[in-house]
Amino acid sequence: MNSKLIQSASSIFLALIALLCIFIPDEVLKNFTIDENEYVLLIIQVLGGLLFGFGITNWMSRTVIMGGIYGKALYMGNLAQFAVGGVALLKWNIKNGFPSVILGVILVGYIIFLLLYLSVFFSSPKIAGK
């Protein structure tokens, strides 16, 4: 699959989650059935900032060749983020009986991007014009 498309789609996906965490952290906590307090709200907003940073990085690096010196680090970061996030979301959803459709959609997104980044990581980079 085209790495530019993967980078663009993942940047939009992460930015949407980030904006929810930044601007309505209390609603995000309701999906996890966690009691809100100022510390947890702060952590959710900081998480939103981290995801927004990943989204911006993906958007700005969508034309970088995956096999290049800079592309490999970007893809490894995304691969790690989607792997850890996907496993954590899967474990939490299984433990709690998939309580929210929104969290299920986010879980599916994380697994899809994990598989896409794995497929790009283990394939040879395609150079335009060859």
pLDDT digits (tens, 9 = 90+) for 121-130: 887 766 655 5
Q: Is 36 helix (H, G, I), strand (E, B) or coil?
A: coil
Residue 53 has a pLDDT of: 96
CA-angle at 60, arms to 55 and 61, nearest 5°:
100
Residue 11 has a pLDDT of: 96
What is the extent of the structural domain holding 71?
3-122
Would 105 be classed as within a structural domain?
A: yes
Would 53 be classed as within a structural domain?
A: yes
Would 129 be classed as within a structural domain?
A: no
Would 116 be classed as within a structural domain?
A: yes
In the chain, which stretches have pLDDT less than 70? 1, 67-68, 125-130
54, 81 contact by CB (below 8 A): yes
Would 127 be classed as within a structural domain?
A: no
> How many structural domains does the chain have?
1
Residue 1 has a pLDDT of: 67
Would 80 be classed as within a structural domain?
A: yes
Check residue 86 and give left, alpha or beta (phi > 0: left; psi -120 to 50: alpha): alpha
| Both structure tokens of 130 | 């060859």
Q: Is 22 helix (H, G, I), strand (E, B) or coil?
A: helix
